[in-house]
Amino acid sequence: MANEASNVFKDAIRNNLGPVVRYLEDKTVSEILINGAKEIFVERKGKLERVADSFADEDALRAAVTSIAQSVGRRINEESPRLDARLPDGSRIAVVIPPLSRKGTTVSIRKFTNNKISFADYIKFGAITEDGARFLDICMFLGKNIIVSGGTGSGKTTLLSLLCTRIPKGQRIIVIEDSSELQVDYEHVVMFETRQANEQGKGEVTIKDLLKSSLRLRPDRIIVGEVRSSEALELLNAMNTGHKGCMGTVHANSPEDAIVRLEALAQGGDTQISEKALRSQVSSAIEIIIQVSRYSDGSRRIGAISEVLGFNSDGSYNVVPIFEMSRMNRRPDGTLDGRLEPTGHLPSFMEEIVDNKLPFAESKFNKPKAA
């Protein structure tokens, strides 16, 4: 059945998406953005560029989108003017049609890649330093609850997939996503995916629903691909009830914004809980926040690794960076020169690192001396 669906999708692509087929097959292209029939952009190495190709007219583009939606068992029309789906090859497609989209049918296709990235690759790309990678490895070994924060296209899912490969053996992992994107290379892993409501508005299964089910399925760690709604409260509950090493991603521009956003999302839940109790749950559940960013040169890097240490005297969350991106200077070729450096803050769990005889000396956290 999977092969049949994939073939139907490929036929829909060949027959309808002619102007962008070659970009779907081009391995250097990571995303295709269609802003109406006459405007197409592609992303290469984190940079957007407009291409000369175009569709004949809006009707041709609309027919292509309708055909693709049907090939994956979805619909897009005046009653359902938005589409968000996973394609048979793993790519993600998002569509908004007129009149919601005033420029014409707007499409984003984020291509799926099978490339498995290791910390060695991350270091080679300049996304992290050796010490930063080793510290994250230690956090995974010790089962710290981690949130990966960043903007759209910053590399949150890639980093979360990489962190999953560093989970110690012998655990049961449950992964919950809206649309399966995470590549989890692990022996004992269960993958859950949400389901949209049918044409009658029935049958919807949300991340929150799956989180509730997962707690009864003996998980050691729960991984949520993206926390975007009231399921944040369920994840916090899991983190606070003995499930060490849970992880998720959230859209935010800084570690401080990430934890405030999680609090706001958790407040949207139907459980009645006081603000004080909720904030206490948030601060005790989240231990490490990793901020990833896409920089102006197109590179994706870890900008900060921070620890959550309760509250400041003014009531704000005390989010302390352990590693942080240095000041970045632009090289003659346009790329940015900067590296993740220790801030001088010793993590509160340093004794755990020592007790577990993990080879990471306190001196690794010393702030570099100014040149």
47-61, 247-261, 269-283: least confidently modelled range: 269-283
Encoding tokens for residue 62?
């609309």
13-17, 104-108, 175-179, 232-236: least confidently modelled range: 13-17
Cα angle 216-219-222, degrees, rounded to a multiple of 5: 110
d(CA 14, CA 315): 57
Average pLDDT over residues 72-98: 85
248 close to 221: Cβ distance less than 8 angstroms: no
Q: Which of 288, 289, 297, 291 is nearest to 338 (CA)?
A: 297
- CB hemisphere CA count around 91 (13 angstroms): 20
Average pLDDT over residues 144-171: 92
Average pLDDT over residues 15-42: 88
Most confident of the ranges 183-187, 243-247, 266-270: 243-247
234 close to 248: Cβ distance less than 8 angstroms: no
Q: What is the reported pLDDT for 11?
A: 62
d(CA 133, CA 365): 13
89-147 tens-digit pLDDT: 778 889 999 999 999 999 999 887 666 788 899 899 889 999 999 999 999 999 999 99
H helices, E strands: number in the chain: 11, 17
Q: Please report which confidence band the pLDDT of residue 15 belongs to, taking 50, 70 and 90 as the band edges.
A: low
Q: Which of 305, 4, 11 is nearest to 129 (CA)?
A: 305
Q: What is the reported pLDDT for 7?
A: 55
- Domains for the chain: give ranges and CATH numbers: 2-110 (3.30.450.90), 119-365 (3.40.50.300)
Average pLDDT over residues 260-271: 84
Question: E strands within 220-299?
Answer: 221-224, 247-251, 288-294
Q: What is the reported pLDDT for 156?
A: 92
What are phi and psi for residue 177, nearest 5 degrees?
-140, 155
184-232 tens-digit pLDDT: 888 899 999 888 777 777 888 999 999 999 999 999 999 999 998 888 9
Q: What is the reported pLDDT for 24?
A: 85
51 close to 23: Cβ distance less than 8 angstroms: yes
236 close to 213: Cβ distance less than 8 angstroms: no
Instruction: Compute the mean pLDDT over every residue in the chain, rounded to the nearest whole number.
Output: 88
Average pLDDT over residues 241-263: 93
Q: What is the reported pLDDT for 132?
A: 96
Is pLDDT above 70 for 12? no
Question: What do you get for the CA distance between the two ends of the chain, in Å?
Answer: 62
Is pLDDT above 60 for 149? yes
Q: What is the reported pLDDT for 1?
A: 46
Torsion of CA 256, 259, 262, 263, to 10 degrees: -100
Q: What is the reported pLDDT for 10?
A: 57
Give the DSSP H or E segment for 318. Answer: strand 317-325
165 close to 187: Cβ distance less than 8 angstroms: no
3-state secondary structure of 168: coil
